[in-house]
Amino acid sequence: GENVEQHPSTLSVQEGDSAVIKCTYSDSASNYFPWYKQELGKGPQLIIDIRSNVGEKKDQRIAVTLNKTAKHFSLHITETQPEDSAVYFCAARFGNEKLTFGTGTRLTIIP
């Protein structure tokens, strides 16, 4: 089955700097890679996703890159703000099957 590894587990970044979170997946058939943000006491919120036919996608301060050959994908947050502090999860899926999640990254933005 699919396995997703996520690094780092914790990340502290000065406000205004960039943050990068990296994930690797094992199943080369996976074709959909979403990223979720989870705030304390809340459910995961989809913030950006990418499909296997695209190498990069950007939405304002958030971008995701995908390297299918290496089976890596990364989340990039630029100009970080205090409200970016949360736990971020990457995930991978083939077709309409289940999402397999990484173990999460606790991002702290230092004012």
Partner 1 sequence: ETGVTQSPTHLIKTRGQQVTLRCSSQSGHNTVSWYQQALGQGPQFIFQYYREEENGRGNFPPRFSGLQFPNYSSELNVNALELDDSALYLCASSFYPSGSTGELFFGEGSRLTVL
Tell me which residues touch partner 1 (CB under 8 A): 6, 32, 34, 36, 41-46, 49, 89, 91, 96-104
Shortest CA distance to 78 belongs to which of 60, 90, 104, 91?
60
Nearer to partner 1, 43 or 111 (CB): 43
Provide, rounded to whole angstroms, the least separation between the CB of residue 91 and partner 1. 8
User: Which residues make beta-bridge pairs with 30?
Assistant: none
Provide, rounded to whole angstroms, the least separation between the CB of residue 30 and partner 1. 13
Q: Return all residues near 2 (Cβ < 8 A) that are at least 6 apart.
A: 25, 26, 27, 30, 92, 93, 94, 100
Nearer to partner 1, 95 or 111 (CB): 95
Nearer to partner 1, 16 or 54 (CB): 54
